[in-house]
Structure 1
Amino acid sequence: MSFFQPQQSRAAQKQQAVDPQHQPWVEKYRPKTIDDVSAQEHTVAVLRKTLTSSNLPHMLFYGPPGTGKTSTILALARQLFGPDNFRSRVLELNASDERGISIVREKIKNFARQTPRAQAVASDGKTYPCPPYKIIILDEADSMTQDAQAALRRIMELYARITRFCLVCNYVTRIIEPLASRCSKFRFKPLDPTSTSTRLAQIASAENIPVTPETIDALISTSQGDLRRAITYLQSASRLALASTPPTDITPRDIQEIAGVVPDAVIEDFAEALGIERVHGNGMDVDVDDSGRVKAKGFDGVKKKVKGVIREGYSASQIISQLHDHVVAHPTLTPRQKSRCALAFAEADKALCDGADEELWILEVALRIHRAMNS
């Protein structure tokens, strides 16, 4: 019975893999080749040459989340070894889960010391380069302990002839220098809005999801250069839009709600109540806003406005972050007003990181902004 069980599990895994309907779009549209990787031209150009020479150094990929680090090395490995040899030639570990020295001494060392089999021909008839070495991918390598990293450097030297390492991390400064010096470094920069917009439009078109340029802009602004996050938001928004009766279009407000971002209208209304005029307003200093609501006056008015915003359940850190961006980019505020507001934002951010009360610090920030606008 146990002899047939692994075959059944492999068949079930294969059936799940070929069913794209229940697959996350992040995996469904993951680049199949390094040419499909978006906006990392320098890295792609260097790695493309390794496909012709079949000579790969130890590599260190670093950069912000969602910029294509893991996708790039997986696509390169598939192009080097082909689908038939991929499983036997590539070991992928998430170092945030398996980061101790025991993993390095056992799993990584055992795989690294095995001599790879000779070149094979894939089932589709294509011959892949299939160089005479294996690849070990350590995702989130900056989470590895110092001892584990120290143990890894000797393994990289001993088995360099038959095993190449690719370390993937967000913070290169957390990789010990002896380990980093053994690798070729590749920096992945945040995706520019044009590349992100093009990729999101391609996915929306493939899924037959109508999106407006405003929705794409909302995805880009909320994801902050993280393409994986933007694709996830788009998939979630499409599910919600199709689930409603009748199906509705995806709006920027929907994206902001899914992303946990405070809607722009709420931030602008809150800022206006504190004395910051709307960017697209008429510039007149009146006590009643466009919707007829009276602007906050004095301590009681500001406290009431803060309580209303907090009761909506928005994150205090998110409110401060977006309010900061709104103030800094405001065209009519003076540098002195912006600097006084920025000081309040900085103190509040530090206090919230230390576990301070959210409502009290939002009230503190609101009062200091109100005072800066009226002084």
Structure 2
Amino acid sequence: MAANFFSANPSTKKLGKEKERVVDPNLQPWVEKYRPKTIDDVSSQEHIVAVLEKTLNSTNLPHMLFYGPPGTGKTSTILALSRQLFGPDNFRTRVLELNASDERGISIVREKIKNFARQTPRAQTVASDGKTYPCPPYKIIILDEADSMTQDAQGALRRIMETYARITRFCLVCNYVTRIIEPLASRCSKFRFRPLDSSSTTTRLQYIAATEQVAVTPPVISTLISTSSGDLRRAITYLQSAARLSAASIPPTEITARDIQEIAGVVPDSVINGFARTLGIDVPAGVDESGDVEMADAPNGSLRGFELVQEKVKALMREGYSASQILTQFHDLVILHPTLNARQKSNCALIMAEADKALCDGADEELWILEVALRVNKAVA
């Protein structure tokens, strides 16, 4: 897909542009449909937006390095900035976007990137859609996931950045800035994108839900935020999946927090809470604890101690939950528990760390979840 941003044939480029404009919005993924059109629409990155606004006004863009966690708006920001600089008509002739994780070799740098960088554009002010765009006399090359590029490719890119700096600006987008070689990073203005705060994410999700006429409750929004861990792109994807799941029923069903957790692949809170209570950890019952997994048929109260814990673990494994995911969520519950003391929490953390190492080495999931359960039960007693 990235290769479509550069074509040697202008007529082919125009035909492709006309075809791409005819897109049914109902068929678009919401992450694309609601991608920011201008840098003012970027959520929760006020400092970066303020700096880029000044850069946009002067049209004097430096080489840039955007880094931060996934889903925080890095690619959306540079695409929005490029559209504001060049306008929709010149965007594809002035901007080359490559996903460096797929095209990371030195041959791509020497051929595709160098060929695009060496072409000299002309300065012009263009009007489109009733707006005027400055269209400065340079092009922009966007390298997404640049931290996946090889060391040799980064070295070759450094030389190209120096040679064609007058007519081409580079924007490197990555998650881990430490994987960018220092000679390359030193030539760029660095912009750190922070994970989105809850209020900004809530506002954006509520706006999308209202626009798409999807009824969501505050617990659903809260679950979207907690399961996405500051990744707005992931939260929007979960919301769209839940909306489609809801609309598949006649009449449409209500979207619940448990639906979001199932879509996200995490273990429902009610299941983790029930597991914790079985081990003797006091967890208040939530508003919806009906989804707790059921153990094998047994007379009420006939299971005690080891048998009770063993049956609970078997019930968890029968549901197909990932042992690593159970450990992750159970760890958070224990560490944030208000009544367990520091010694109990540290002992539980050591137990779960040992289990995590064993699972990474390929140990049996059910046996290690049982091991964790019995030792945590003893540690909190």
TM-score, normalised by the number of residues in structure 2 = 0.90
Q: What is the identity, as a one-letter code, of the residue corresponding to 1:222? A: T
1:197 aligns with 2:202: yes
Match of 1:24 among 23, 29, 40: 29
Distance 1:119 1:35, change over 3 A: same
1:120-269 to 2 correspondences below 5 Å: 120-269=125-274
**1:352 Cα deviation (Å)?**
2.1
Match of 1:349 in 2: 356
Q: Deviations over 1:295-333 (max 9, x none)?
A: 974333322211110110111111001001110111111
Query: In structure 2, what is the Cα distance between the partners aligned to 1:60 and 1:356?
Result: 41
Query: In structure 2, what is the Cα distance between the partners aligned to 1:296 and 1:193?
Result: 43
CA contact under 8 A between 1:262 and 1:319: conserved in structure 2?
yes
**1:335 Cα deviation (Å)?**
1.1
CA contact under 8 A between 2:126 and 2:135: conserved in structure 1?
no
Query: In structure 2, what is the Cα distance between the partners aligned to 1:181 and 1:293?
Result: 68
Q: Percent identity?
A: 76
**1:125 Cα deviation (Å)?**
4.4
Match of 1:72 in 2: 77
Give the count of matched residue pairs.
361
1:109 aligns with 2:125: no
Q: Deviations over 1:28-83 (max 9, x none)?
A: 00000000000000100000001111111110000000000000000000000101
Distance 1:293 1:173, change over 3 A: farther
1:358 aligns with 2:368: no
Query: In structure 1, what is the Cα distance between the partners aligned to 2:141 and 2:221?
Result: 36
Distance 1:108 1:337, change over 3 A: same
**1:269 Cα deviation (Å)?**
0.2
CA contact under 8 A between 2:125 and 2:134: conserved in structure 1?
no
Distance 1:174 1:217, change over 3 A: same
Q: What is the identity, as a one-letter code, of the residue corresponding to 2:367? A: L
- The root-mean-square deviation of aligned C-alpha atoms, in Å, is 2.0
1:275 aligns with 2:280: yes
Q: Note the residue ranges of structure 2 that are not aligned, 5 or more in a row.
A: 1-9, 287-298
Match of 1:61 in 2: 66
**1:370 Cα deviation (Å)?**
1.1
Match of 1:373 among 356, 359, 380: 380
Query: In structure 1, what is the Cα distance between the partners aligned to 2:156 and 2:145?
Result: 17
Q: What is the identity, as a one-letter code, of the residue corresponding to 1:65? A: P
CA contact under 8 A between 1:84 and 1:122: conserved in structure 2?
no
Distance 1:249 1:137, change over 3 A: same
Q: Note the residue ranges of structure 1 that are not aligned, 5 or more in a row.
A: 282-291
Query: In structure 1, what is the Cα distance between the partners aligned to 2:12 and 2:139?
Result: 28
Match of 1:324 among 305, 325, 331: 331
Match of 2:289 in 1: none
Query: In structure 2, what is the Cα distance between the partners aligned to 1:6 and 1:106?
Result: 19
Secondary structure in 1 aligned to 2:141? strand
1:86 aligns with 2:91: yes
